[in-house]
Amino acid sequence: MADDPDAWATVAVRVRVPGLTCNEISKHLGIAVKASSRHPAVWTYDVPVSKDLMLNEHLDALSAFLTVNKERFAAVPEEGEVDVVIGWRPRRGQDVSTFTPELVACLARLGAGIVTWTYSDDRPDEE
């Protein structure tokens, strides 16, 4: 996001299964991640894309990761939850993100939700 040095993006996949720790979920999925001391029962995989790239590039990498690993995520127990966490600080002015049909279909097959966190300093000052 070279035209706006304050803009950034990040995407992660999160899995929660009642009664399982992050390490147990890692073993079930066959994808190791570091357990968070803050949320030891939540498996979180940060999609490895440079934070200074456009959000769409993060979404493309997410789609590729989920497509390659679709059988692993489809095997998450029914009581488990899979979601995608998208965080970004948009470029100044107008910014855009595109959820491709392939990504939407992949998320639908997994029963995955989308959580978005936006960060913006474009709010008027409070008086």
pLDDT value of residue 109: 84
Residue 1, domain member (yes or no) = no
Structural domain count, the chain: 1
Enter the DSSP assignment of 15.
E
Per the CB < 8 A criterion, the answer to whether 104 and 75 are in contact is no
pLDDT tens-digit series, residues 28-41? 999 988 877 788 89
Specify the higher pLDDT residue, 93 or 84: 84
Whole-Å CA distances, 13 to 65, 66, 103, 122: 10, 9, 13, 28
The tokens for 65 are 């990761």
pLDDT at residue number 44? 93
How do residues 94-105 score in pLDDT, each as one tens digit? 666 778 888 888
Please indicate, yes or no, if residue 14 is contained in any of the structural domains: yes
In the chain, what percentage of residues exceed pLDDT 90?
31
Whole-structure pTM value: 0.79
In a domain, 3, yes or no: no
To which residue do tokens 């073993």 refer? 27
124 assigned to some structural domain: no
Q: What is the pLDDT of residue 94?
A: 61
Whether 1 and 53 have beta carbons less than 8 Å apart is answered as yes
Whether 2 is in a domain gets the answer no
Does any domain span residue 78?
yes
Classify residue 125: in a domain, yes or no.
no
Residue 24 in domain: yes
